[in-house]
């Protein structure tokens, strides 16, 4: 159900020349109820409510009750509201979906190879302390890259630091939504949610990862340039790095252990 429209009292909200504005899909554009409030302070209060005072469920529940809908834009329109209208979205998504379809038969063999190697490493180290989580992260990234691109895994090309570099980069992507990882929480709010972390801290590691993916995904990039023109090669490469790392640590690592066979 569409949220109630904000009414300015002139009887012609969301209209130009007496006609309603239409979205690219042809549906009328309706205003999202609520507002941003006081600059800086209202978004800060929203973050405190979301992460610490109310929690995610109560945060959205209270705003639905207050406005008949939810406004969570942080002062800027997020990518989720722009991607359908951005022509690059459709092009990049087409490449990624084509890659997934082309590589679907490689997923199971890549999984078997990576995790057979992982359990061999676990068994080889049973005489001493074995860090299963560390090994799991290493071979999860190897599996994801082998499934998507084939070739040598990052643990061999980049070395043992591949996972460290990938996790550091991932932390910089996710720190704005991190919750209760730094104590006391006012310090977390100041360090993680108020300012962007300086990218130079992970730039060198990301360059190393990007060089690996430029080689591993060369065939994908070449095919995209031929069959999906209009996407700069470097931009598509950044997207493939994003897809691989997020799927390894934000997807497979979380969801695979919960699959029941």
pLDDT, tens digit, 9 for 90 and up, residues 13-64:
444 444 456 666 677 776 656 666 777 778 788 888 888 888 888 887 887 7
User: In this structure, are 195 and 69 located in the same domain?
Assistant: no
Tell me the pLDDT of the chain averaged across its residues.
78
User: In this structure, are 42 and 112 located in the same domain?
Assistant: no
Domain of residue 112 covers 87-258
User: In this structure, are 140 and 221 located in the same domain?
Assistant: yes
Is 59 inside a domain boundary? yes
In terms of C-beta density within 10 A (0-12 exposed, 13-18 middle, 19 or more buried), how is residue 154 classed?
A: buried
Is 81 inside a domain boundary? no
Picking from 76, 111, 144, the residue at the C-terminal end of a domain is 76
Overall number of domains in the chain: 2
Residues 6+ apart with CB under 8 A from 179: 51, 52, 188
Return the pLDDT at 20.
55
User: In this structure, are 64 and 151 located in the same domain?
Assistant: no
Return the pLDDT at 67.
60
| Residue of 249, 259, 76 lying closest to 171 (CA atoms) | 249
Q: Note the helical H segments in the chain.
A: 41-48, 55-67, 79-82, 87-103, 107-124, 132-149, 154-157, 161-174, 185-188, 200-216, 218-227, 233-246, 253-255
Return the pLDDT at 150.
93
Return the pLDDT at 23.
64
Question: What is the token pair recorded at 102?
Answer: 């082309």
């Amino acid at each position: 159900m569409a949220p109630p429209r904000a009414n300015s009292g002139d009887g012609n909200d969301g209209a130009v020349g007496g006609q309603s504005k239409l979205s690219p899909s042809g549906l009328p554009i309706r205003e999202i109820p609520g507002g941003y409030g006081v600059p800086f302070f209202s978004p800060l209060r929203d973050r405190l409510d979301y992460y610490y005072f109310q929690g995610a469920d109560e945060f959205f529940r209270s705003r639905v009750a207050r406005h008949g809908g939810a406004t969570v834009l942080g002062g800027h329109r997020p990518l989720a509201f722009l991607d359908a209208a951005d022509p690059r979205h459709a092009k990049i998504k087409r490449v990624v979906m084509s890659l997934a379809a082309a590589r679907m038969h490689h997923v199971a063999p890549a999984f078997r190879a990576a995790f057979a190697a992982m359990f061999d490493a676990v068994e080889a180290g049973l005489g001493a302390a074995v860090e299963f989580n560390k090994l799991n992260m290493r071979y999860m990234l190897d599996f994801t890259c082998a499934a998507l691109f084939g070739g040598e895994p990052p643990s061999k090309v980049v070395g043992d630091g591949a996972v460290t570099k990938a996790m550091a980069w991932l932390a910089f992507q996710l720190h704005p939504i991190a919750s209760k990882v730094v104590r006391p929480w006012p310090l977390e709010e100041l360090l993680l949610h108020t300012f962007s972390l300086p990218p130079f801290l992970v730039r060198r590691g990301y360059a190393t990862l990007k060089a690996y993916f430029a080689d591993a995904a060369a065939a994908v990039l070449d095919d995209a340039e031929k069959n999906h023109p209009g996407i700069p090669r470097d931009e598509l490469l950044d997207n493939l790095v994003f897809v691989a790392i997020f799927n390894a640590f934000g997807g497979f690592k979380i969801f695979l252990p919960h699959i029941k066979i």
